[in-house]
Structures are given as structure tokens and as C-alpha cells.
Amino acid sequence: GGPGQMDIRNAPGKTLSIDHGDYTGDPERLNKSFTCATCGACEIMGTANTFQCLAEVLGICVPGTANIPGWHADKLEAARVTGERVVEMVREGLNARQLLTAAAFDNAVKTAMAIGGSTNTLLHLPAIADSAGVTLPVSRFAEAADVPTLLAVSPNGPWGIQDVWAAGGMPAVLKQLQSLLDTSTTTAMGVPLREVIDAAVVVDPEVIPPLEKAFRPTAGIAILHGNLAPDSCVIKAAGVHESMMVCSGPARCFDSEEEALHAINDDVVQQGEVIVLRYQGPKGSPGMPEMLGATAALKAKGLKRTALVTDGRFSGATSGPCVGHICPEAADGGLIALVQDGDVIAIDIPARRINLAVPQEELQRRREHWRPVEKAVPAGYMRRYRKHVRPACEGAILD
């Protein structure tokens, strides 16, 4: 665990994020020197670092250890302390289920919003909660819409995870968020969260600012609803430029990422369109793969005003107007399955809305002629998975 030493984000003369697609320089030198040059996770607020941060909030790791760089000597000390603490917890009778309470998950939801975390949080956190016997519906995330995006960590802003660690780490982040949290929850040290917060020091308030100086006034993850996603969908609002917070455009539809990639690379997709990438959900794919290829291709082509809407999911490194987890998904007959090229899709992140501007009568006509795209899946686990997996808005958990 912990971030790696360097990536494109903080390479000399480069800009903000690993996935902007607009950096220059010798490709071989960049690849060798500035991309994953050490052990550790991507040095951004992707899925790995999001959940390392949330592990501290949930109380299932030693405070202050989540963001230690993977290459740093402090990692060895953290491993020793962790091992000793595990033995102590066994003797004390303190186990994970006692730490993973409903209040702890509420804290984790708010913190995910504040750090500008990965949209995969809406899959993994409910799944962890389910294993702990706690129900964590998507409505809990929607209710946290007013939590400010405290951190400006790549791909949302200029800082990296190592900057957060050097500025005080997650204890310092939680100190700035304490007015929003239930600080009575128990940590892995057997003490309340408030004691961890009281001992924390904010070393650099520019990186970990107080709430009144947050990076953005609203949550880093936005839950949208509308006729295109009546059960919900999600977007990493912290990574969307202000000019694209409200946008609309004609749809260009694809039933596979390969088709979408060819269209983007061949300049078929135009600036201002809305790519609809469907049958990528838990049942439709099956397995809900990341649409990293499509989002990277959009960045490489400079299509900054082209949105992407999918029932699949995204990499934690994704930024821009990319809406995922459309529920119901296409394989379940969701409205996304009925969208046709040229239909206008409107996305309004501040209003938390996403709508398809097609008359109800026309949608009914299309539904009467609709047949789902069923991908061939060999007999075995994946076929059972497709039959028993829950929707993305319920964490894509197996029954």
C-alpha cells in the first residue's frame, strides 16, 4: 500500500494529472523516469489511495499509516506496529465487526466526498458494509452532497497523495473534517476517533485546508437521478471543469468499448457529443469493467467537451464529464438501452440531474421493438455471477 514516488502528474514541466493526454517530451524518458518508477499505488486519488484513506476512517488500520509511500522506510515501522497491534486486538477481543459500524461507514462516505475519492467507492464501500452486516444504500452518498471537497488532489487538482502524507496524513484530514463526523467511533487502536483527531497536526494547511477554504464547496462525488438513471448514477464532480458542470449534446451510442475506441481514434466522435457506452454493467458485460480506454482516448484526442455516459464504471484516475453506474443498466432494460444516435442528453451536476430528451411515446415505441444484447458467456462462474449479481446502485454485490 501507499503511493509510489512519481508519475506524470509531478514530472518536471508537466501538468496536473496522469490522464490529461497533453504532456510533451521524450516518451521513452517519461515512461522510464516518471511513470510508476517505484513500488506503491498510483500517486493520485485513484481507487487504491481512496480506500487506503478510508481504511483509517473505518478504523481498520493504524492511524497515520494509510498514506505512507510504498518506498519509504516508515512503511517497515508501520508494518511492525500493525503486527503488534493485531496480536493485542486478539487478546483484547476487539475485531473488525466491532469497528465496522454504521457510524463508521457514514464517516467513510463523508470522507470519500471530502477527499474527491474514486467513484468506485460506490461499489466497494457498500460491499464491505454488506460483509460487516451493515446496509449502505446509495441514498447515504446522495445525502452527503453538501460535504465540501476539501482536498485538491490529482486528478482533481495539483497535489499528490505524498503531499497529503507530508501535510499530516489522514489524521490531519479528519481533524479538518471533525465537525462533520461522528468522532465516537472506535479505531484499530481501541480508542475513539476523537483521540486520533486531537493528536493530529495539520502541517500544511494549503494541502489540507480548513473547511472554509475547501477546494470546492460541494462533494467530490455526485449522485445524479433522472429519466436516464431513475435508480441513480455517479460522476466524479471534483474532476469536472466548471464549464462542463452543466452540459448537453447529441448521443453517439456504442454497445462495446472496442467500438467506442475505434470511433474516437478515427475521429468519428465529435466535440460536444455525448458518448453512450452501454451493456457494460454488472450483468451486461458481465463483470462491470473500467472504461479507462475510452476516457483516456477522449483525453488524448482533446475532446474535453465530449461527455461519456455508461452503465459501466471508471478508473479512479478518470476526470472530466464521465457519468457511470447508470441504473437500471441496459441488460436490465434500463432507458440507456433505448437511446439512439442524435438523441439529446442533458447533464446538470449542480442540480444532480441527467435526462434524455425523447418523448415518452417514442420511448414506448422503441421499447416494444427492443431486444437486449446478450454477450456469450461460457457455463460456469461468470454465468452464475450474471444471474445473481445486484445492480451497481446496490454495490454490485452477489446475492
What backbone torsions phi and psi does residue 332 show, to the nearest 5 degrees?
-95, 10
Distances (CA, A) of 141 to 49, 144, 174, 278: 19, 5, 18, 24
Burial of 390 (C-beta count, 10 Å sphere; 0-12/13-18/19+): middle
HEC-encoded secondary structure of 256-298 = CHHHHHHHHHCCCCCCCCEEEECCCCCCCCCCCCECHHHHHHH
List, in sequence order, every beta strand (DSSP E) within the chain. Answer: 222-226, 229-235, 246-254, 274-277, 307-310, 322-327, 344-348, 353-356
DSSP-assigned beta bridge partners for residue 384 = none
Three-state DSSP class for residue 213: helix
Answer yes or no: 315 catalytic: yes
170 touches 60 (CB < 8 A) = no
For 251, residues 6+ apart whose C-beta sits below 8 A from its C-beta are 273, 274, 275, 276, 309, 339, 340, 341, 342, 343, 344, 345
As a residue count, the chain comes to 399
Amino acid in the structure at residue 250: P
Cell readout for 199 is 493528536
β-pairing, 307-310 with 322-327? Answer: parallel
Cell readout for 269 is 466522435
Q: Give the number of other CB atoms < 10 A from CB of residue 15.
A: 12
HEC-encoded secondary structure of 314-383 = CCCCCCCCEEEEEECCHHHCCHHHHCCCCCEEEEECCCCEEEECCCHHHHHHHHHHCCCCCCCCCCCHHH
CA 194 – CA 222 distance, rounded (Å): 28
Closest by alpha carbon to 220, among 110, 295, 304, 322?
110
Closest by alpha carbon to 54, among 116, 6, 7, 97?
116
Q: Which of 118, 154, 285, 315 is catalytic?
A: 315
Q: Which residues are catalytic?
A: 315
